[in-house]
Amino acid sequence: MSLPILITGGSQRLGLAVAESLLAQDQPVIITYRRHKPSVTRLEAAGAIVMEADFNTQAGISRAIDKIKQITPALRGIIHNASDWVPENSDQSAGELMQDMMMVHTSAPYQLNLALKDALFASDAADIIHMTDYVQETGSEHHIAYAASKAALHNLTLSFARVFSPHVKVNSIAPSLVMFNDDDSQEYRQRALEKNLLGLVPGPQEAVKAVNYLLESEYVTGQTLHLNGGRNLK
């Protein structure tokens, strides 16, 4: 029996697609969710281990670590996917927004990687994948705190690739508009399609293919897989 892969924020969209893909390959998964949904029930019925986790607070992060250690002593990998995409015009103060973004996108991955080091090292091959964002290198005009936290998450890739080598490969996947949100307007969608060279928004399977490539690789670590349709050249 293979060791499980932990996917944070696995109850919808890219995380859900990755979880479903791994289960279809008979790869055991543990997924965290913040709000229970029918997809969580479906994943559990398909054999996933599901656990509630909110990474916005230190208590929530500590509880999640304790729960994961109770579930398994060894891990094939961790995919840090949980994320909130919150703009500056939200109803939070600057301090609250930066705190929230850094907790879920940086502090939680940092603490889980350190706390689960032994579990990863117990596996013959192990991967950490940080789901970052195209804006890790460009910044963002309307999601400043979010972009900064994703840049910090990418920096964790560079540090942990060094510290956990050669036992664990550590990489970033940096999407840019891989999947629309249901409430995205037609105008937003049209404008977004014009932002990349290929003029498309591929959907969650693009992330699934990137994750599977990294898991199968023997020689890629400390890198970023950019999923952006050539947006950087537009």
Ligand X SMILES: NC(=O)C1=CN([C@@H]2O[C@H](COP(=O)(O)OP(=O)(O)OC[C@H]3O[C@@H](n4cnc5c(N)ncnc54)[C@H](OP(=O)(O)O)[C@@H]3O)[C@@H](O)[C@H]2O)C=CC1
**Residues at the interface with ligand X (CB under 6 A):** 9, 11-15, 33-35, 53-56, 81-85, 104, 131, 133, 175-179
**Contact present, 29 and 22 (Cβ < 8 Å):** yes
Q: Could you give the CA distance from residue 36 to residue 40 in angstroms, rounded to a whole number? A: 6
Closest C-alpha to 4, from 160, 164, 105, 126: 126
Identify residues 105-144 at the interface with ligand LV4SOB2L (CB under 6 A).
Answer: 133
With CB cut-offs between 5 and 8 Å by kind, which of ligand LV4SOB2L, ligand X, none does residue 142 bind?
none
Stretch touching ligand LV4SOB2L by CB under 6 A, among 63-71, 80-88, 94-102, 153-161 = 80-88
In whole angstroms, how close is the CB of 81 to ligand LV4SOB2L at the nearest point?
8
Q: Could you give the CA distance from residue 149 to residue 67 in angstroms, rounded to a whole number? A: 25
- Determine the Cα angle at 126 with ends 111 and 84, to 5°: 45
Q: What is the DSSP string of 163-174?
A: HTTTTEEEEEEE
Q: Residue 54 carries which side chain, given as an amino acid letter?
A: D
Catalytic entry in 33, 146, 188, 213: 146
In whole angstroms, how close is the CB of 202 to ligand LV4SOB2L at the nearest point?
11
- Determine the Cα angle at 77 with ends 76 and 83, to 5°: 155
In whole angstroms, how close is the CB of 130 to ligand X at the nearest point?
8
Q: Could you give the CA distance from residue 119 to residue 8 in angstroms, rounded to a whole number? A: 16
Residue 173 binding ligand LV4SOB2L, by CB under 6 A: no
Q: Residue 209 carries which side chain, given as an amino acid letter?
A: K
Residue 85 binding ligand LV4SOB2L, by CB under 6 A: yes
Stretch touching ligand LV4SOB2L by CB under 6 A, among 41-49, 62-70, 81-89, 206-214 = 81-89
Binding residues for ligand LV4SOB2L (CB under 6 A): 83-85, 133, 176-177, 181
Show which residues are catalytic.
146
